[in-house]
Structure 1
Amino acid sequence: MTKKKPTILVVNDDGITAPGIKVLLEEMQRLGNVVVVAPDAPQSGMGHAITIAKPLRLDKIELYPGVEMYKCSGTPVDCVKLAVDRIFKDKKPDLCVSGINHGLNYSINVLYSGTMSAAVEGAIEGIPSIGFSLDDFAHGADFSHTRPYVYGIAQQVLQNGLPKGTLLNVNFPHIEKGIKGVKICRQANGCWVEEFEYRKDPHNRDYYWMTGRYDWVDRGEDTDVFAINNGYVSIVPTQYDMTAHHAIPELNSWAFDVK
């Protein structure tokens, strides 16, 4: 008896024509039957945004031979929601993978990332989910060194599943650093120090352009930032339950009774 191939939903935030999603779908085709649903334009930095004030469009396209693909007018999270509700309908996919993102999504970036939010939405839907990102913002980024790890990590998730409410945040170092191996990490404590440059447009109207730098305040050697900086693939088990459980006992000691 032939074992049925798993179904795999592929999404991203860089848009359906981004090079990273092509690499991802090609590796997923080695594991199962692939359906791609991705934004029709780049949606980086959208976080967990959803579209509620305008219609959503979902159009089937033929971009790569033999691949079932749809472009969506909405956000990465919209892509997952529409895929589950309108394409897969009564049977959810066996795996949801997002990326491969052009640029890292380690540390605090996970909160802003459309790539990771798509994977989070997959996990909320009860689908084992993974977000993949590469330390290279270039449109022509070289993803070749990520391929065996993308395949291997996805294969492990299909075989073993993931704990309930958990997904994986996977980041790859730049190809120049090579890959020394894989590290299971925690999310580094860091933040963006933003600056807003004041400018004038051609019509002499004021506007601001956000710039800034990432401030890595956490020097622990068990973090995703440390792993990437030292040539390792970082895998952070991530959850969408944002409850600060450690704070509950302290808050229970406060006097909230109003008299």
Structure 2
Amino acid sequence: MAKSVKKKEEPVILVTNDDGITAPGIQALVEAVKGLGKVVVVAPDKPQSGMGHAITIGQLLRLQKVNFPGDVEAYSCSGTPVDCVKLAVDKILHRKPDLCVSGVNHGANHSINVIYSGTMSAALEAAIESIPSVGFSLLDYSIEADFSAATKYARLIVQQLLEGRSLDKHLCLNVNIPASPEKLIKGIKICRQAYAKYEEEFDERKDPTGKKYYWLTGEFQNFDKGRDTDVWALKNNYVSVVPVQFDLTNYELKEKLEKNWKL
């Protein structure tokens, strides 16, 4: 008598973002991963860009099941992107997903932006919880941005991860896609994070009542001339992939302090 073949369990893919559940970018990301596993969406009910790794404390959190294009199981959350990941695991999935994908963000998350990004904080939260994750961003802030290249490369990267034999449970990738037509993108570059940041200032203005208020402005400055960085790759029409981690320890400095400090 032939032995029965056990059917391989379908991977669970959690999709989230920081631009809100109605953003075109998250619809593009869902489209990218459909068919690769069971897709569940949990995303903020409003834009949460620049929230970093904020969590909600001292306020109510609400989850609401919503209709999502393509008949995908989806929920809106009143909290931050990190709240979305935490609630998804505890109250919706009741288990850890096999992969968490965040985005596609409207705008760049290269270089220092990873520190402030709600998109990447959601991905890092998943990695902290031993869930492999990827954050995807397109270098186009327009609500009418063309996500075709982002969709193509997001699917390619997710396929690579799901086919991996031993996926690092703390894996977290920061993926940025140039705002270029798909045919002009040269491919993927594995990069390091560039030393680049915004030179910022606060523009002082007055509201209609004459009271002062301040508006953050700034200009992006790249101080890193390396050809192995995310900023270089994107400028040269490559998709940048930067492996990131939540351990912020400077190990080189740690060794120097242990050697030189008289304690």
CA RMSD of aligned residues (A): 1.3
Counterpart selection for 1:148 from 152, 160, 175: 152
* Aligned counterpart, 1:16: 21
* Aligned counterpart, 2:133: 129
TM-score with structure 2 setting the length: 0.94
* Aligned counterpart, 1:95: 99
1:44 aligns with 2:52: no
Per-residue deviation, residues 230-258 of structure 1 (Å, max 9, x unmatched): 0000000111100001111211134464x
Do the aligned partners of residues 65 and 146 (structure 1) sit closer, same or farther apart at CA in structure 2, a change above 3 Å counting? closer
Q: Give yes or no for contact 1:199–1:209 (8 Å, CA) kept in 2.
A: yes
Consecutive unaligned residues in structure 1, runs of 5 or more: none
Do the aligned partners of residues 172 and 254 (structure 1) sit closer, same or farther apart at CA in structure 2, a change above 3 Å counting? same
TM-score with structure 1 setting the length: 0.95
Distance of 2:53 and 2:261 partners within structure 1: 35
Distance of 1:226 and 1:162 partners within structure 2: 28
* Aligned counterpart, 2:64: 59
Distance of 1:130 and 1:88 partners within structure 2: 19
Q: Which moved more, 1:244-253 or 1:76-85?
A: 244-253
Alignment: residue pair count: 256
Q: Give yes or no for contact 1:166–1:240 (8 Å, CA) kept in 2.
A: no
Paired AA for residue 145 in structure 1: A
Distance of 2:167 and 2:210 partners within structure 1: 54
SS in 1 for 2:253: helix
Per-residue deviation, residues 90-143 of structure 1 (Å, max 9, x unmatched): x21111000000001000100000000000001111111000000100001000
1:72 aligns with 2:81: no
Per-residue deviation, residues 124-164 of structure 1 (Å, max 9, x unmatched): 11111000000100001000122221111001111215435
Q: Give yes or no for contact 2:138–2:177 (8 Å, CA) kept in 1.
A: yes
* Aligned counterpart, 1:207: 213
Q: Give yes or no for contact 2:149–2:181 (8 Å, CA) kept in 1.
A: no
Distance of 2:82 and 2:198 partners within structure 1: 23
* Aligned counterpart, 2:241: 235
Distance of 2:36 and 2:43 partners within structure 1: 20
* Aligned counterpart, 2:231: 225
* Aligned counterpart, 1:85: 90
Counterpart selection for 1:248 from 249, 254, 261: 254
Q: Which moved more, 1:229-238 or 1:172-181?
A: 172-181
Aligned-pair identity (%)? 58
* Aligned counterpart, 2:120: 116
* Aligned counterpart, 2:142: 138
Consecutive unaligned residues in structure 2, runs of 5 or more: none
Paired AA for residue 64 in structure 2: D
1:173 aligns with 2:171: no
Per-residue deviation, residues 158-211 of structure 1 (Å, max 9, x unmatched): 121543533100000012483101100000011211011000001111110000
Distance of 2:23 and 2:245 partners within structure 1: 27
